[in-house]
Amino acid sequence: MRIFFAGGGTGGHLYPGLAIARALVALDAEARPFFVGAKRGIERDVLPTTEFPHALLDLHPLYRSQPWNNWKTLAGASSAWTALFRIAAKDPPRAVVGTGGYAAGLALGFAAATGTPLCIQEQNSYPGLTTRVFARWAREVYLGYPEAERHMPHRGATFVDSGNPIQPPPATRPDRGAARRQWGFPTSGGPVLLVYGGSQGSRAMNEVLDAWVERGLPPSLHLIWATGKGTFDEFARRDGACDGRVRVRAYLSPIADAYAAADFAVTRAGAMTTAELFAWRIPPVLVPLPTAAADHQTSNAATLEQAGAAVHLPQAQLTVERLDEVVRALVADPGRLAAMADAGARRARPEAATEIARRVLAVAKGK
């Protein structure tokens, strides 16, 4: 039972598809996921390292700020369309699952054109262009944020408040004291703040963190700071600062070790990041990436702040003084942190991948 997965360009669109595909195989050994992606997206590097067969096609985004380059989009789509039909002719898919991004559009168009059952997983509170266009042909749309439904056409699709598919926390949570000790912190006393700007890091966030550490952290606060590999050498000197209360790493792998120790976090507002934080009951201060497509991270952060699950701190307001003010206020108000954690937990769907996979199987089997 072959099922096409289409989505990529960025990890936020690719990794949800991988999580659902792995859950599919775990539920039904006859399921055979096949990934369709772009030669120029993150899938170029990631898919060859996975267990799944795949095809990388000459797909391009819409060049909105450089419309004269859209000839590449049209030419690539034409050749990729022919290639996709050739792939499908050998073993037609029983369903197509789209997880967003420009890399998904062609395969979703194939499903609409051929009448192949189509399912979409949308990660963000404001859906991307690909999702908004193709939701009208979908059998089911799985929502990371229930608020996204109001931005999409309603022409027969079933909208499911599924949450975002992530690697769930272990059933038995790691001991907090042991997790702190693993980072070289005392087993109790003083909260642990986790800060990271996505898998690649964020220079804007790192520079503010650097100045904050130099000025001095609030008393008793411990800091786990992931800089991203590209700037680690620049900020590594802060490791062990503030009497040993600062840990600086290039990348958090496995990130569960940091989640297990953290009491709250300062992060970007990507959909998968917030889904993981809520599953671990970690209340976040969200600093949206201002250049994200359609400014969707700002929409995510504003939505979550309104729900009482996060603090929204725009990057334009991210200064040493403002960060220090926000962190000190949260440290001084454990009740607010607990309320934020509760609000986030109500939105958490740690088993989303399995639930979505079960529904996709039903669609593929015509149930």
Question: Beta 222-226 vs 246-249: how paired, if at all?
Answer: parallel
Split into its structural domains, the chain has a count of 2
- Each residue's pLDDT, cut to its tens digit, for the chain (367 residues) gives 999 999 988 888 899 999 999 999 999 999 999 999 888 788 888 999 999 999 988 766 665 667 766 565 565 566 777 888 899 998 999 999 999 888 888 899 999 999 999 999 999 999 988 899 999 999 999 999 999 999 998 888 999 999 999 988 988 888 999 999 999 999 998 999 999 997 778 999 999 999 999 999 999 999 999 999 889 999 999 999 999 999 999 988 789 999 999 999 999 999 999 999 999 999 999 999 998 878 899 999 999 999 999 999 999 999 999 999 999 999 999 999 999 999 999 999 999 999 999 999 999 999 7
Cβ contact 34:54 at 8 Å? yes
Closest CA to 139 of 292, 295, 328, 366: 366
Q: Are residues 328 and 355 in the same domain?
A: no
Q: Is the pTM for the entire model greater than 0.95? A: no
Instruction: Please state the φ and ψ torsions of residue 270, each to the nearest 5 degrees.
Output: -65, 150
Q: Are residues 199 and 339 in the same domain?
A: yes
Q: Domain containing 107: what range?
A: 2-167+351-364
Query: 173-203: b or e for each residue (b if 16 or more CB lie within 10 Å)?
Result: eeeeeebbeebebeeeebbbbbbbbbbebbe
Q: What is the pLDDT of residue 367?
A: 78
Cβ contact 213:238 at 8 Å? yes
Q: Are residues 195 and 151 in the same domain?
A: no
Cβ contact 313:324 at 8 Å? no
Q: What is the pLDDT of residue 78?
A: 67
Q: What is the pLDDT of residue 70?
A: 56
CA 276/CA 281 separation, integer angstroms: 9
Q: What is the pLDDT of residue 96?
A: 97
Q: To 10 degrees, the CA torsion angle through 88, 90, 92, 96?
A: -40
Query: Which residue has tokens 């990794």?
Result: 15
Strand partners, 33: 3
pLDDT digits (tens, 9 = 90+) for 9-67: 888 889 999 999 999 999 999 999 999 988 878 888 899 999 999 998 876 666 566 77
Burial class (CB in 10 A: 0-12, 13-18, 19+), 262: buried
Q: Are residues 247 and 148 in the same domain?
A: no
Q: Are residues 192 and 156 in the same domain?
A: no
Q: Are residues 51 and 63 in the same domain?
A: yes
CA 364/CA 367 separation, integer angstroms: 8
Q: Are residues 132 and 199 in the same domain?
A: no
CA 314/CA 269 separation, integer angstroms: 10
Other CB atoms within 10 Å distance of the CB of residue 339: 14
Tokens of 78: 């034409």
Q: Are residues 355 and 343 in the same domain?
A: no
User: Phi-psi bin for 308: left (phi > 0), alpha (psi -120 to 50), beta?
Assistant: left
Q: Is the dihedral of CA 102, 103, 106, 112 positive or negative?
A: negative
Q: Are residues 57 and 188 in the same domain?
A: no
Q: Are residues 186 and 329 in the same domain?
A: yes
Closest CA to 122 of 136, 113, 135: 135
Other CB atoms within 10 Å distance of the CB of residue 62: 13
Q: What is the pLDDT of residue 104?
A: 87
Task: Return the amino acid letter for 362.
Answer: A
Q: Where are the alpha helices (DSSP H) in 54-138?
A: 70-90, 105-114, 129-134
Cβ contact 116:23 at 8 Å? no
What CATH number is associated with residue 123?
3.40.50.2000
Q: Are residues 295 and 265 in the same domain?
A: yes
Q: What angle do CA 251, 331, 272 make, to 5 degrees?
A: 40
Rg (CA), the chain: 21
Tokens of 217: 């952290």
Q: Are residues 334 and 192 in the same domain?
A: yes
The one-character DSSP state at 230 is G
